[in-house]
Structure 1
Amino acid sequence: MKILKPLAIALLLPASYIVTEAGTPVNINTLQATQLLKDSINWNAPLPFDNEVKVGKLKNGFTYYIRKNKEPEKRVTMYLGVKVGSILETEEERGLAHFLEHMNFNGLKHFPKNDLIDYLQKAGVRFGSDLNAYTSFNETVYELPIPSDDPELLKNGLQVMRDWAQDALLTSEEIDKERGVIMEEMRGNRGAQQRMQDQYLPVLFNGSLYAERLPIGTEAVITGFKHQLIRDFHKRWYRPELQSIVIVGDIDPIEMEKEVTRLFSDMQVQKKAAERKKVGIELLNKNQFKVVTDPEMPQTVVYMVIKHPFEETKTYKDYKLELTKGIYSQIINARLFEIAQKPDAPFRNAGVDIDGFLNIFEAMNISIIPKPGQLEESIKVVVRELKRFEKFGATETELQRTLSDYAKYFENSYNERDKKESYVYAKAYLDHFLNNSPVLSNEDSYRITKQILPTITLTDVNAVAEKYYAEVNRDIIILGPEKDKEKMPSETAVNGWLAALSSETLEKYEDKVSELPLLPSTPVKGTVQSTKNLEAIKAKEITLSNGVRVILKPTDFKNDEIIVRAQSEGGHSLYSDADYFSAAYAANLVNSSGLGNLTSVEFKKYLSGKNVNVNAFIDERSEGLSGYSDKEGLKTLFEIIYGYFTAPRLDEDIYQAFVSKTIASMQNREDDPNFVFRSSINKALYGENIRRNLPSEENIRSIDKDRALQIFKERFADASDFTFTIVGSFKEEEILPYLEEYLAGLPSSNSKESAKDLNILPPAKGINVEVHKGKEEKVQVNLSFMGDYAYNDQENINMDALESILNIKLIERLREEESGVYGVGAGASYNKFPKGRYSFSIGFGTSKEKYQSLIKSALDEINKIKQNGPSEVDLNKFVMEKKREYEIKLRENSFWLGSISSAYRLQEDPAKALQYLENLQKVNAESIKAVANKYLLEDRLFKFILLPDKK
């Protein structure tokens, strides 16, 4: 195609158009409107602060943020932010900021020893998933979401925050017990990634103190520091002027402010406080290069980090730049996605983003995962696209699509403003305190963004590309397998690759957008055949003229959220082993290939500005669709659903790219201890059965493209045995026309199918499997009980209770008493079809010296429940946790979608979801003891142990 010069283009355009410097035709009226809009904004004005939050500072310097928010009802989310992290540690204190975070759970003024966790568990708060904390370089944050409808609990929750702020007991006994826990946390993190990180962080941090202050600390300090050292650290840094409480939830802000003032005003202020110096990272004004290899690294990864000075977002101008950086990243990533869809793409994945790094510098981050042997070409292809963008910029169509996406996102956020959950606000206020990040109200965010987006031009986006893709302050870090060490390039070689690109002649990116409609044919409209009210759950079951069954449940949980799931019996259980991989990957390949008349890239562009997504699936026993939409996107949602049934596609280039990328991801995986462990477990349980083992390269190559598409079409050829569940913010009369036009028009032959029982089962008796793989001196333990199961509601809830209570006991025993693990968990799973089966597992990581004794301790806790049942205290913890959890779930669209669709799949009454509390009350110590004795049998115990390499 001949490329016209800007002047030539201008001669062919109507008089109302001009050509920009980038050579793009733009309507002059649009340009004038954009300029007027730009002129109406005071770009140097400061961004307004959220006026819906009460912010204050006590006389001692302690800051608070308090906001009333009713989602979820009867709940409050609280954070304590402390501007203290590992960067403040001296050499002899390395790891104490993080250690101190742990100690705040092991003895407070009003909650000595482990009383804090015990008290909150009784209130239904889960340790780890609800109650939590983290330590970073510059801050420590404590999180406590609790019910707000119990005045005593709310009062004590605030007392917890006050104790966290300054009243940790730090007893010698608890300090010494916690050393082992932190050492296990450190041990668990060791592996290829950590070993390589230790080598490249000095480069990433420009040789600054940050590289020597990882929050986890050092083994020498953790195991050997004197008790007084951590007490001194606590006293020196846990000060009111470095702390803030954030409280958002279903509370009275005025009363809450009084309580905060009462509790936190007496915090001690130091007369000669240590200076909280800000530690920076100086830009070196040079480039850095580092290659790191490791025996357990399965793939090559490239990171390019181009550093820039950090600038806070304070004004309208700053906010526009933030939006523009995001728009640039989305456009360049769309181009890289387009390349990745091609069979000859040299990389598996590549991405670009521009973001702040610890609020110290800003960086353009480029990540690439090359295919084996294509490192050079991967780097060249990605950098070539960056240079193409730098030279020619974005196209007008790319910009308008991305602006449309942004406008839709902010519109959706604004529409859901009264349904926004408390943690979203709480995190924003926390970020403001810790990093001075802007916090806009819902109205301001929507108004300002709506005002600014139309002013963002190609010139603005192109300026971001020119500024952030720089040739200086660039780090290139290449990570890879040890066996490829000799193949890794030198800095000179990589610089040569990049230099060669500068002399290339680049062509402008052509944004191809299809003008074709999504669907090749129009549906033949059907009708509603019958309806049935499901009054108990406020839903309706509709049968359409082609036999399709639809369950509608309108809700007010969100203002504009509609979610859907469709399912039918069958799945890939109906196909032979010879067809298994073609069947198992059919949906994945079809999902990646676009739809109807549109390729994957065209389909992605088609969905721009739409809040709609649908994916097909084929699992072992069923096939179906899952998706979401807002009201505006309903037509598109049903078009896509119709398209998957009637016009699926599986493109050759997508198929070839999938095979190529999947096989590339398998290279060197035998060097990864976790892969070897998983593979060994699967083989021990299921032998060489291809349906239960991780696929090989040969298996992937066996996928037949035409057969996969044929199987997909077969699975969706008859809609009459599909059940659609639709939940969300719609009215029946709004959605009925789409049901008649699209779902009732789906093909049907009324041929009912059932999934096949493949009878793939593990051994009837337990076995022991030991795997030796890994350089680190650590052990991974998995204890699993498996067997036949009597599936029913009461059995299920008792198994859930057994799981929850064992979690409590294992944490108390293995972590708190024996200091042998950082994390330990129990998990129960059970199935009704094809036959009742269960699996109950316990997993933890520890040291070689401790794993055998910890296994005995875990089994001992099981035996205690089998002999005596759980204590009343632990039983009540489970009941309260589930009650509180259920209160929230009842007001979630996803809960009802899952509950209703699951009930129909399991051939049960969907109203059973409302019987949960009734079933919960039937759980008692004897019923839990009974399921423990029934299922946690010694001869059904499978022990899987991952040990380090034999010396």
Structure 2
Amino acid sequence: MHNRYMAAAALMLLSASINTTNAQQNQVIPLDTAVRTGKLPNGFTYYIRRNTEPQQRALFYLVNKVGSILEDDDQQGLAHFMEHMNFNGTTHFPKNELVDYLQKVGVRFGADLNAYTSYDETVYQLPIPTNNPSLVTKGIEIMRDWAQGALLETDDINKERGVILEEKRLREGVAARLQEKTMPVILNNSRYTFRNPIGTDTILKTFPVAAIRRFYHDWYRPDLQALIIVGDINPVLVEQQVKQQFASLKNPDHARPRPDYKIELTGKNQWLLLTDPEITATELEILVKHPGTELKTTTDYLQAVKRGLFNQLLAYRLSELSQQANPPFLGVKAGIGNLTGGLAQFGFSVTAKPGKLKEAFELAWSQVEQVKRYGFTQTELDRAKTAYMTNLEKAKREVSKTPSNNYVAEYQQLFLNGAATPGFDWEYRFMQQQMPGIGLADIQAVATQYITATNRDIFVAGPEREKGNLPDSATVQEWLAKVSTAALQQYKDVAANEVLLPKVPAGGKIIARKHIPAVGVEQLTMSNGVKVWLKPTAYRNDQIQFMSFAPGGINKYSDADYPTASNTIGIIGGSGLGEFSPLQLSRMLNGKSASVGAYIGGRSQGINGGCTTDDLETALQLIYLRYTAPRKDTVLFENAVARSREQIRNKYDNPGNVFSDTVSNVLSNYHYRLSPVTQERLDSVSLDKAFEIYRDRFADAADANFVFVGNFNTDSIAPLLETYLGALPALNRHEQPVILHSSVPKGKLIKTVEKGNDNKATVLLVYHGDCKYSEDEQMQLQALAEILQYRLLTSLRETAGEVYTPSVQGGMTKEPDQRFSINVSFGCAPEHVEHLVGLVQEDIINLQKKGATSDELLKYKAGLRQQYELQVKSNEFWLQYIAGKVEKKEELKPLPDVEKRLNKLTGSSISNASKRYLSGENSIRFVALPEKKKD
């Protein structure tokens, strides 16, 4: 199933009856002819495709049918460990030379260069610039090394133990504790239960190096491997190189058979009650397990579409339920999806308000029972089918702009699971033929097949203090029986009004036009004062993005009104438009590709959104309604407040929330408007006041600037802009933004939070202060931050082995105050905090004394060039660039010469920058630690 237009989950979904003609039933889906594929005599498979989105880039993926499920008892965690070792020394790149080399050609470690290990596969990813043919050759060489060229030197293995253990430590917490208890149930105590990819502490600390070498020898072999290369390449030449490089791979003598492990269904139901001090709400989850199927034939494909439609229809029903007055739950979700080990599942979960689990479950599960008993209505199905085909048509118009990673994902599923990838044209034709034949009986058959009472796991999880109030298995069975025998009425669908805007406004006129050839922009001035900035592009075939801004914002309101003002968009913006509730609006817009949201920032307000070319008028109507027809809804408001109240009530049972709110409070110097929400503030929020604030903020568009970027003709869309933007209200208030200043505590400060019992620490070092803002200085700061991160990866991770991934983020603001900050963060063992903070300081001192090395500058500059080249070829970039310049009242000039700015980065300039920005004169150390154990 093509992930250009359908959720990835739909790839995995499984279903029932078919409405295909006899000639089309169960035909094998053909392979897309645009991909070159083959299998070498040693069993190695490859998929190669030319694709120029983005240009001068290619994605290289090495996919191995090798995961933790293949580990012997003494190898638990070593499939994932092996993934790490492929970055720590291969035939052509000993030690850490691989990462070093790739960074110098602009490939960033983590962001671009990465890998993952799961139960059944290990996948390595590498994006490569293709403007230099030698880099393509080098990319293939790297893939060859990853396939069978790891050195696995003893010292490197032993050094990596600490890194892996720190990665495992980061996962500690309430989610990990719950997973440890639920996974044996979900996985039916199969082999998967005992092969968590992260492994066990004991083995990771003590395994002999022979164990990982044995795993590598047994399983990293060509008959279990595939190379995927998609991008701006010559497929014929690349195929020749692949054959030359990978033909020499060897399968081991007497190769171990690769078992196809599956989770067996037991036909039994299971129950588990879970409590934990850090759980903040009570939840009931039902998981019904089913055999999985393949996606190889036309029958399989159509079944997957039906499951996708079922999920869409059920989600809509549950969304409607959530908008009833005072529901007893905080959230509910359900649907069919994939489960590991060759299984599929129907999953359901409901999160209840305190003391309302029974009511919450019965109300939510009754919707599931209603669907199983009666199915859906014809109008519901028609809307779902229309939405599906609309997305398909949209995908058709964008097919030439399909990004390479979409194709990679398809070929990966083809290799691992045999999932068909016929290409878009086949899929489009097939669904045009088959969609009309999908009927109500088909969708109800999905419900009948998946919503069953066997192979059913039920979990109830709640706060430790609520343990005595949680139901037992017999009680939940009584609830289920009650719903299954209750008298339920058939669902009655409400027809959607087909007219979004009954009366087209009179509109205004364009009174001035100005061309700005330097950036390809045309500025229009409307008779009501609205200014429109238009930049036609061809980055996408059928996309228009837009936003507006005008001075004003939340800062115009007093502290007393601030809780309401800061929530106004959530309250009013989420209540629908005009006479339409959110659900009615959703029905109205079904089959349209237009979305418009409103925002109110600190010093401005406006809208943002996007649409296809055909739906521009609909988008403009939505903009007009956002300004002129806000809607308030008492039910939705009270439901939102109730949810927020519950989120606040137990918020600080979670140690992460305690730490993050402490950081926010300290960095804002406990500024009222930047502090976390409290119950007292929430109680002061007023629906009527929010409605008043919204109308006030959008009552005057005379000073509004609209920016449109995308594939349009400025002359063709001008009449529509006159009609709708020219009709926006204009009071000519000429407001000025209110500037509110905040401060960060000066000097050196240490703030420690002790909360929770997990044996882990979180460290955040904040270096901050005033500065003189300029774009050149901002680049110096960002370069400094990234170069410091290079060093911390070496000192904290590679050398000390006490951190998994240190992060350094640098930023500079121009308004309302010229300030900078550099944040250094990492997780570690509590006993290592002082040592690691000392190492950070050593790296900073070294930067101040000696500046950046030529290698570090080369890496930063190469990475920035690669990022910049991609960024400037997107509608998103130009939308933000134009809006930013206009809002700051800066001239719209050609993009800055990046090379000229990069030339200003030198070893000594980084030294000077480190003295300015990392002096430590104003610095805050935040540390989260576990609670001290009481005697």
- Quickly name the TM-score band, shorter chain normalised: over 0.9
What is the aligned counterpart of 2:633 among 648, 651, 675?
651
Closer, same or farther: CA 433–38 of 1 in aligned 2, 3 Å:
closer
CA deviation profile, 1:739-775 (whole Å, cap 9, x unmatched)? 1000011001222223222222111223110110121
- Alignment match, 2:901: 919
- Alignment match, 1:141: 123
What is the aligned counterpart of 2:448 among 436, 456, 466?
466
Letter aligned with residue 130 of structure 1? D
Cα displacement (A) at 1:688: 4.2
What is the aligned counterpart of 2:567 among 574, 580, 585?
585
- Separation (CA, whole Å) in 2 of partners of 1:240 and 1:460: 42
Closer, same or farther: CA 36–470 of 1 in aligned 2, 3 Å:
closer
CA deviation profile, 1:494-553 (whole Å, cap 9, x unmatched)? 000010112211111111134273336532210111111121111111111111111111
Q: Is the 8 A contact 1:582 1:708 kept in 2?
A: yes
The answer on 1:701 being equivalent to 2:683 is: yes
Q: How does 1:642-681 map onto structure 2 within 5 Å?
A: 642-681=624-663
Identity of aligned residues (%): 37
Q: Is the 8 A contact 1:518 1:595 kept in 2?
A: no
The answer on 1:504 being equivalent to 2:504 is: no
Deviates more, 1:681-690 or 1:879-888: 681-690
Deviates more, 1:815-824 or 1:246-255: 815-824
- Alignment match, 1:225: 207
The answer on 1:412 being equivalent to 2:388 is: no
Q: Is the 8 A contact 2:326 2:639 kept in 1?
A: yes
- Separation (CA, whole Å) in 1 of partners of 2:175 and 2:531: 49
What is the aligned counterpart of 2:429 among 441, 447, 453?
447
- Alignment match, 2:668: 686
What is the aligned counterpart of 1:269 among 211, 228, 251?
251
Cα displacement (A) at 1:478: 2.0
Letter aligned with residue 335 of structure 1? R
CA deviation profile, 1:126-147 (whole Å, cap 9, x unmatched)? 0001000000000000000110
Cα displacement (A) at 1:36: 14
- Alignment match, 1:318: 300
- Alignment match, 1:31: none
The answer on 1:86 being equivalent to 2:68 is: yes
- Alignment match, 1:126: 108
Q: CA RMSD in A?
A: 1.5
- Alignment match, 1:780: 762
- Alignment match, 1:848: 830
- Alignment match, 2:326: 344
- Alignment match, 1:873: 855
The answer on 1:888 being equivalent to 2:870 is: yes
- Separation (CA, whole Å) in 1 of partners of 2:258 and 2:629: 63
Cα displacement (A) at 1:940: 0.7
CA deviation profile, 1:573-611 (whole Å, cap 9, x unmatched)? 111111101111111112211111211110111111111
| 3-state DSSP of counterpart to 1:767 | strand
- Separation (CA, whole Å) in 1 of partners of 2:885 and 2:341: 49
- Alignment match, 1:70: 52
- Separation (CA, whole Å) in 2 of partners of 1:39 and 1:575: 65
| 3-state DSSP of counterpart to 1:819 | coil
- Alignment match, 2:95: 113
The answer on 1:100 being equivalent to 2:74 is: no
Letter aligned with residue 930 of structure 2? P
The answer on 1:189 being equivalent to 2:171 is: yes
| 3-state DSSP of counterpart to 2:560 | helix
Letter aligned with residue 923 of structure 2? L
- Separation (CA, whole Å) in 1 of partners of 2:106 and 2:618: 42
- Separation (CA, whole Å) in 2 of partners of 1:268 and 1:665: 56
- Separation (CA, whole Å) in 2 of partners of 1:371 and 1:315: 45
- Alignment match, 1:386: 368
Letter aligned with residue 243 of structure 1? Q
CA deviation profile, 1:74-107 (whole Å, cap 9, x unmatched)? 0000110000100111111100000000000000
Q: Is the 8 A contact 1:372 1:667 kept in 2?
A: no
Q: Is the 8 A contact 1:519 1:597 kept in 2?
A: no
- Separation (CA, whole Å) in 1 of partners of 2:189 and 2:737: 60
Q: How does 1:531-542 map onto structure 2 within 5 Å?
A: 531-542=513-524
- Alignment match, 1:18: none
The answer on 1:619 being equivalent to 2:601 is: yes
Q: Is the 8 A contact 1:778 1:845 kept in 2?
A: yes
- Separation (CA, whole Å) in 1 of partners of 2:602 and 2:771: 20
What is the aligned counterpart of 1:332 among 311, 314, 327?
314
Cα displacement (A) at 1:938: 1.5
Letter aligned with residue 792 of structure 2? L
- Alignment match, 1:28: none
- Alignment match, 2:883: 901
Q: How does 1:931-950 map onto structure 2 within 5 Å?
A: 931-950=913-932
| 3-state DSSP of counterpart to 1:719 | coil
Q: Is the 8 A contact 1:520 1:597 kept in 2?
A: no
- Alignment match, 2:695: 713
| 3-state DSSP of counterpart to 1:65 | strand
- Separation (CA, whole Å) in 2 of partners of 1:516 and 1:48: 40
Letter aligned with residue 476 of structure 2? V
Deviates more, 1:735-744 or 1:505-514: 505-514
Deviates more, 1:219-228 or 1:516-525: 516-525
- Separation (CA, whole Å) in 2 of partners of 1:914 and 1:631: 30
- Separation (CA, whole Å) in 1 of partners of 2:219 and 2:638: 57
The answer on 1:523 being equivalent to 2:505 is: yes
- Separation (CA, whole Å) in 2 of partners of 1:229 and 1:62: 25
- Separation (CA, whole Å) in 1 of partners of 2:163 and 2:491: 54
Cα displacement (A) at 1:40: 7.2
| 3-state DSSP of counterpart to 1:774 | coil
Deviates more, 1:202-211 or 1:363-372: 363-372
What is the aligned counterpart of 1:826 among 808, 833, 839?
808
| 3-state DSSP of counterpart to 1:840 | strand
| 3-state DSSP of counterpart to 1:784 | strand
The answer on 1:209 being equivalent to 2:197 is: no
Letter aligned with residue 88 of structure 2? N
What is the aligned counterpart of 2:546 among 553, 564, 586?
564
Q: Is the 8 A contact 1:202 1:208 kept in 2?
A: yes
Cα displacement (A) at 1:686: 3.4
What is the aligned counterpart of 2:152 among 170, 184, 188?
170
Q: Is the 8 A contact 2:59 2:127 kept in 1?
A: yes
- Alignment match, 1:423: 405
The answer on 1:476 being equivalent to 2:472 is: no
- Separation (CA, whole Å) in 2 of partners of 1:768 and 1:667: 28
- Alignment match, 1:369: 351
Q: Is the 8 A contact 1:517 1:597 kept in 2?
A: no
Q: Is the 8 A contact 2:296 2:418 kept in 1?
A: no
Cα displacement (A) at 1:372: 2.2
| 3-state DSSP of counterpart to 2:673 | coil
- Separation (CA, whole Å) in 2 of partners of 1:788 and 1:809: 25
What is the aligned counterpart of 1:723 among 705, 711, 719?
705
- Alignment match, 1:243: 225
Cα displacement (A) at 1:716: 0.9
| 3-state DSSP of counterpart to 1:247 | strand
Cα displacement (A) at 1:57: 0.3
Deviates more, 1:254-263 or 1:923-932: 923-932
